[in-house]
Amino acid sequence: MYPLPDPQQSTAEKAGQAAGGSLTDAVIKAAVRDTIRQTSYRDETPIPQYGTTPPVPQPGRPPMSAKAVDDTARMLGASVLIATSGGATTAVLWASGYANPAVVALVFGAPTALALAIGRVMKRAKDTTPDVHHHHYAGPVDQRTVHSRTRGVWAKTTNQQ
């Protein structure tokens, strides 16, 4: 077993160093100050606006197109609706103690058939709607003001500028 050093006697004096004084304290303070300054380094070089590095996916949902995001939200909403309606139906059948297979098929098949029929109708309606056209014209705009006056049983309109 090794003997422990005496806490009353400084080990620095044994090594030939000063027992402690202003020089030692100044060196310790400078070392602490330099360490603090080194850990707070700020890189001031400008960040490039573009480069060859691919984007990094962020935590959470993976990157998707706008259509995929819309479809995901629609599926999540539909799953909540299906889970609640299915849970309510299960609770009613369990509470009654009687489950007729034909009734169960109607209860679960009717909403699905209705949803498919509505989807098909909407798809056909989408195909029959006219396209939206936007027209943009360039040129001088007529700024005149026209005053119209209509009088008589048989209307006669007089336009004055």
> Structure tokens of 62?
């993976």
DSSP 8-state secondary structure symbol assigned to residue 55: P
What is the distance in angstroms between the CA of the first residue and the CA of the last residue of the chain?
Answer: 117
Residue 73, helix vs strand vs coil? helix
Residue 28 has pLDDT above 80, yes or no: yes
DSSP 8-state secondary structure symbol assigned to residue 56: P
Tracing tokens 């027209």 back to the chain, one arrives at 135
> Model confidence over 51-100: pLDDT tens digits?
777 777 778 877 788 888 888 888 988 888 888 887 887 788 778 777 77
Q: Which of 90, 67, 69, 71 is nearest to 79 (CA)?
A: 71
What's this model's pTM, rounded to 2 decimal places?
Answer: 0.27
Q: Is residue 141 within 8 Å of 150, Cβ to Cβ?
A: no
Average pLDDT value for the chain: 76
